[in-house]
Structure 1
Amino acid sequence: MINFLWLETAGSSGPTLFYILAFVPLLTFLLNNNLLKYAYLIIGINVPGLLLIEAYFPGIITYYPSEIQRVLDILMVCLIFIIFEIPLIIYIKNLVINQRNEALHSERIKTSYVTHLSHEIRTPMNAILGFAELLEQDDLEMAERKEYINIINDNGHTLLNLLNNIINIAKIEEDSTKVSLSKFSPDSLLERIRASLSFKASNGVDFKILNKPEESVMIHSDIVLLYQILSNITFNALKFTLQGHVYLNYTIIGDSIKFTVEDTGLGICQSKHDRLFNQFEQDSDNKLVNFNGSGLGLTISKNLSHLLKGKLYFESEKDKGTSFHLEIPVDYKLTK
C-alpha cells in the first residue's frame, strides 16, 4: 500500500510520507512487541528504498496535475491524524500515568502493610515471650499463673489468626483457594466456633449460640471456608464488644441458610460502611489501643463468601452494635 501510494501520489512530495508518520503510532499501539519490531524493520528498509528509487528513477513517479490537489491530500492526512491519532496518543499517555500512579500506590500500601504486619506480629510475640518468662518464677500464686497462661493463650490465638489471614489473602490473590464439599450440621459448626473463641470474650459479655431450630439441618458446603468466614466475623465482634452480648445464630430461608453474628459493640462509622471490605481497611475512628488488626479479615471473608456462592453484608450503628449476615446455599452445587 505504501509503495503504491508513493508511486502514484508524487513520491516524497505527496502525502504518503505523512501517511507513514500517522500510521506508525497506530502500529505501536495495536501490535505486540514481536510483530512491532518486524513492522518497524520493514518500514525502515522500505522508505529509504523508495527514496533511492525516486532519486535515480524519477520518471516512474506520477505527479499531481496541480499543486492544490497535492496540498488538499496532505491536509486530509493531517485531519485524519488530528481526529484519530492525537486522541489515541492522549489516551495512551493517561493510561501510562494511571498505571504508574496505581503502581506507586500499591507499593506504598505494601510497604505500609509490611511495617504494620511487623508490628502486629511483634506485639503478641513480645507478650507470649514476656509472660512465659514470668511463669518461670517459683513464687507465683496460682491465680497469677492462670492469668499469665490466659494472656499467653490469647496472644497465641491472635498471632495464629493473623498468620492464617496472611496465608488466606495470598491464596485468594493467586486464585488457588478451592471448594471442598461435605455435609455437616451448622449447629456443630457454630458450637466449634464458640468453643474456639470463648477465650476472647471480655468479662460481662454474654457469648452464646441462640436457640436452635426445632428441626435439625444438614448443609452441603465447604466447612473449612465457612468456618474461616464465621470465625473472622466472630473474632472481630468479640474484639470490639466490651459489654453486652455476642450472639451466633442461623435461620433457613428457602434454599439458603443465613448465619448471623450480632454484637453490642462499638459499631461501625457510617463513613466506613462502603469501604469496610477493602483490603487493609480498618475503622480508624476507634482509637482504643488494644484494637489492632491486619485489616484483612473482612476482605478474606467477603471473597470466601463469593466462593461459596453467597453474600456477606452487615448492619451497624455507631456505639450500638453490629450484625453481620452470611447467606449461602444449603446445597452447594458445583458448576462445570
Structure 2
Amino acid sequence: MMQALERLVKERYLNIQAKLVFPLAATILVLVLILSPLTNLIINGRIESEADRRLGQIADSVGALIENSETLARNNAALLAKQAEVSGVFMGNTTTDLLPAIKEDLGLQELSLYAANFKSGDQPLFYGGPNVARRLQVSESAVRIRENLIAEALSSENPVSDVAVAPQGSQVIGAAPVYNPQTNQLAGVVLTAFYMDDVYIQGISQIIDTDIAIVRDNLTIISTIDPGAGYEKLINEGWLMSAEQPALNVKYGDGSEHRLLAHPLVISGNEQGTVLVSQPIEELFSLSRGIQIILYTVTGVFAITALWFWIAAFITLTRPLVQLTDATSNISQGNFNQEVNTSYLMFKDEITLLSENFNSMTNHLNELYTSLEERVKLRTQELAEARDEAVAANKSKSEFVSVVSHELKLPMTSIKGYSDLMLTGATGPLNDNQTNFLSTIRNNVNRMATLVSDLADISRIESGNLRLEPRAVPVWDVVDEVATLTKTQVDQKKQQLTIDISDQLPKAWCDRNRLAQILTNLISNANKYTPEGGAIRVSAHQMNGMIQISVQDNGLGMTPEDQQKLFSKFFRSADEKVREAPGTGLGLSITKNLIELQGGKIWFESEFRKGTTFYMTVPIQKAS
C-alpha cells in the first residue's frame, strides 16, 4: 500500500484496479452525498412552487368571497329600499320597531337609515347596528368610506357598495336610495353592513379550509393564523416587501409546520391590503420522504450493480493487463524474452488476442534486436563516409569556383579594356561591321563578368567567407548612385524611374557596397522585365524599427508557380517573354542571402502581366 502511494506521488502512477475502484467509489459518493440531496432539494422546490401556486389561488378566493359579501350587502340594501316598512319610516307612516326583525331575518349586522339631505357627520334617522361602545371604535377611514358611500347613493340614485378594511371596524357595506312611493321623490338612504369580525373570518377560513389573516399598512386587521407562527414579527421586519408573493415555512405553537404565503387582497378590482394564507405541509414532507426513499433505493441498486461489474472486470480484464504492463516494462529495459499467459475461460476475447499477439511481437523483436546493432553500425559508417564525401565535394566546388573566377577576371578585364579602346577609335577608324562586332564582344564580356562575380558571391556565401563591413549608410544616397548607374539601360527602353525617398530618413546600418549591389539587382530586374515605356518606382520609409525599401514595376509579373521558386539558385522562368531577357538565375538568390546576412528580410507581391513589387528591410543605425 505504501509503495503504491509512493509511486502515485513520485511517478503519478495509479494501477488499473485503483482506477476502477476510485471512479466507482466517487460515483457512489456523488450519488449519495450530492445528487440525491440535490434531487431531493429540486423536488422539494418544485413541490413548494406548486403549493405556493395553490395557496395563491386560495388567496384569490378570499377576495372573491369578500366580493360576494359586498354584492349581498348591495342587493340587501336595494331590496330593503323597496320595502314599505323602510319607506314608511321616511314618510312617518310607520315606526322603526319592525326594522330589527328585518335585519335579523336577512343576517345583517347593521341596518341604518339616513335622510336625503345627509351631510358628513350627520347622525342616522335610525341606527340598527352594534352597541354604542362598538360603534365608537370604528376607525376614521371606515367612517369616511360609509359617508362617501351614502353620498354616492344619493347622488347616483343607484345601489352602491364598498369594503372598508381598517384596523378597527372593517365592514362590507351596501347602500341604496329610498323613494317616496307616492311622489317617487328621493326620501333617503338605507345602509346595510356585514362586520369583518372573528365570526366572519372564521366562516371564510372554514369554507376554504385554510388559516387566513388580512393585513393592511403592516397592521393585522383580523386573523385565524396561530400567533405562535411569528407572522406578525415577519410583517414588522418587512417580509411582505421581500418578494412579489413571499412564502416560507413557519411552525405553529403546537409544533406543526405550515406553508405561509402573502398575496395581494384584491376586491372588486381594488387592492385592499394583503391576505396571508397558511396550510399544513405534513403531506408535502411525506411525499418528499417517499421520493428520498426511492432515490436511496435506486442508488443502492446502482452501487451493487457497479460493484458486480468491477469484480467481473477485475477478473477478466485487469489481471491480464497487469501482466502485459509488467512484460512491457521489462521490454523497455532491454529484456525481450517476455511471454504472458494466454489462457482463457470458455471463450477468447480481445485481451486473449492481445496477449497472443504480444508474445508473437516479442519473439520478432528479440530476433530483430540481435541483428539491429550490426545494421546500425554499418549504416552509420556509410552515412559518415557519404557525409565526408559531400563535404569534400562542396569544398572542391567552392575552391574550383573561386579559382576559376579569379583566373577569368584577368583575361576578361583585358578583353573588355581593349574592346573599349578600339570602340573609342584609339586604333583607328572603324566601319559599321567592326563597331557591331566589338560591341557584341564587350556586351558578352560584361555578361561573363557578372556571371563570374555572381558565382564568386555564391561560393563565399555557401562557405561562410563572405565579408561584410556594416556602417551608417544614407539610403537616399545609395539609391541615387544606383539610379545613375542604371540610367543608361532605363533610358534605352524609354522607361520612367521615380524615386520617393525623404532625405530625413534615418541612416541604415549595413554594408554600403552590398546595399548598392542589392538595389542594382532589383532595379535591373525591373528594367529587364518591364516593356518599353513602363514605369519603375523606388521608395523607402521607416517601419517597426527598420527601413523598408520597395522597388515596383508594371512589367510582366509572375505566375503563382514561378513565385514559389523565385529565390532558388539558377531558376529561370518558362515564360517565353521572360526568357527573352538575359540572366543567370543567381541574382535574386544572392540578393536574398545578402539581405538576410545583414538582419533584413525580402518579399514580393506579383500579378501576372500586371507587375511586381519587391520589398526589403535593413536595420536602422542605432544611436551611439
TM above 0.5, yes or no, is yes
Deviation at 1:219, TM superposition (A): 2.1
State the AA in 2 paired with 1:208.
L
Deviations 1:54-77 (A, max 9, x none): xxxxxxxxxxxxxxxxxxxx9986
Structure 1 residue 219 and structure 2 residue 500: aligned? no
5 Å matches for 1:113-124?
A: none
Residue in 1 aligned with 2:480? 191
Q: Aligned to 1:201, what secondary structure does the other structure show?
A: helix
Corresponding residue for residue 35 of structure 1:
none
- Write the deviation string for residues 190-247 of structure 1: whole angstroms up to 9, x where unpaired: 0011111112225454342423326243222211221121111212111111231122
Task: Say whether the 8 Å CA contact 1:135–1:148 is kept in structure 2.
Answer: no
Q: Contact 1:261/1:325 (CA < 8 Å) preserved in 2? A: yes
1:154/1:200 contact within 8 Å kept: no
- What residue is the counterpart of 1:3 in the other structure? none
Residue in 2 that maps onto 1:36: none
- Residues 327 and 127 (structure 1 numbering): CA distance in 2 closer, same or farther, change over 3 Å? same
Q: Per-residue displacement from partner, 1:260-287 (whole Å, max 9, x unpaired)?
A: 1111222222112121111111113235
Corresponding residue number in structure 2 for 1:298: 588
Q: Distance in 2 between matches of 1:332 and 1:270?
A: 38
Residue 116 of structure 1 corresponds to none
**Higher mean Cα deviation, 167-176 or 189-198?**
167-176
Report deviation, 1:310.
0.7
Match for residue 266 of structure 1? 556
CA distance in 2, matches of 1:290, 1:245: 19
Q: Distance in 1 between matches of 2:437 and 2:539?
A: 32
Task: Report the Cα offset of residue 331 of structure 1.
Answer: 2.6
Identity of aligned residues (%): 22
- For residues 290-329 of structure 1, the aligned pairs below 5 Å read 290-329=580-619
Match of 1:8 in 2: none
In the other structure, the counterpart of 1:178 is: 467
Contact 1:128/1:152 (8 A) holds in 2: no
Q: TM-score, normalised by structure 1?
A: 0.58
C-alpha contact (below 8 Å) 2:500/2:537 kept by paired residues: no
Distance across 1 between alignment mates of 2:573 and 2:388: 28
**Distance in structure 2 (CA, Å) of the matches to 1:266 and 1:75:** 62
Number of equivalenced pairs: 256
Which amino acid is the alignment partner of residue 555 of structure 2?
G
Q: Secondary structure at the match of 1:252?
A: strand
In the aligned structure 1, how far is the partner of 2:496 from the partner of 2:445?
Answer: 20
Alpha-carbon distance, 1:81 to partner: 2.6
Which of 516, 526, 546 matches 1:237? Answer: 526
Q: Secondary structure at the match of 1:210?
A: strand
1:255 to 545, 563, 588: 545
Aligned residue number for residue 22 of structure 1 = none
CA contact (8 A) 1:194 1:209 kept: no
Partners of 1:205 and 1:245 within 8 A in 2: no
CA distance in 2, matches of 1:182, 1:175: 20
Give the Å deviation of 1:149: 9.0
TM-score, normalised via structure 2 length: 0.33
Do the aligned partners of residues 139 and 248 (structure 1) sit closer, same or farther apart at CA in structure 2, a change above 3 Å counting?
same
1:120 alignment counterpart: none
1:167 and 2:453 correspond: no
Q: Distance in 1 between matches of 2:432 and 2:388?
A: 58
Q: 1:140 to 1:239 in 2, by over 3 A?
A: farther
Q: Which aligned pairs between 1:96-175 and structure 2 lie closer than 5 A?
A: 157-175=446-464
The corresponding residue for 2:91 is none
Identify the structure with bigger relative contact order (alpha carbons < 8 Å, sequence gap 6+): 1
More off after superposition, 300-309 vs 147-156: 147-156
**Given the superposition, is the C-alpha separation of residues 141 and 103 from structure 1 closer, same or farther in structure 2, using an over 3 Å criterion?**
closer
Trace 1:16-55 onto structure 2 (pairs within 5 A): none
**Higher relative strand content:** 2
**Contact (CA 8 Å) 1:186, 1:219: kept in 2 or not?**
yes
What is the CA distance between 1:254 and its match in structure 2?
Answer: 2.8
| CA distance 1:252–1:147, shift in 2 (3 Å) | farther
In the other structure, the counterpart of 1:283 is: 573
Provide the rounded CA distance (Å) in 2 between the counterparts of 1:264 and 1:135: 36
Match of 2:569, SS state, is coil
CA distance in 2, matches of 1:98, 1:174: 16
Query: Structure 1 residues 143, 253: closer, same or farther in 2, change over 3 A?
Result: farther
The structure with the larger Rg is 2
Question: 1:183 touches 1:219 (CA, 8 Å); kept in 2?
Answer: yes
Partner of 1:331: 621
Question: In structure 2, what is the Cα distance between the partners aligned to 1:282 and 1:289?
Answer: 7
Matched to 1:256, the amino acid is M
Rounded to whole Å, the distance in 2 between the matches of 1:234 and 1:313 is 15
8 Å CA contact 2:570–2:584 kept in 1: the answer is: yes
CA separation of 1:95 and 1:225: change in aligned 2, threshold 3 A: same
Counterpart of 1:183 in 2: which secondary structure?
strand
For residues 142-167 of structure 1, give each alpha carbon's deviation from its aligned partner in whole angstroms, at most 9, with x where no partner exists. 99999999877765654443332122
CA contact (8 A) 1:305 1:312 kept: yes
Checking the alignment, whether the CA contact within 8 Å between 2:420 and 2:442 is kept in structure 1 is no
Q: Is the 8 A contact 1:310 1:326 kept in 2?
A: yes
For the structure 1 residues 156 and 190, does the alpha-carbon distance in structure 2 shift closer, same or farther, using more than 3 Å as the test?
farther
- C-alpha separation in 2, matches of 1:319 and 1:95: 49
Moved more, 141-150 or 305-314: 141-150
Stretches of structure 1 that go unaligned for 5 or more consecutive residues are 1-73, 108-124
List alignment gaps of at least 5 residues for structure 2: 1-362, 397-413
Q: Secondary structure at the match of 1:200?
A: helix
What pairs up with 1:62-77 in 2 under 5 angstroms? none
Matched to 1:185, the amino acid is P
Moved more, 77-86 or 293-302: 77-86
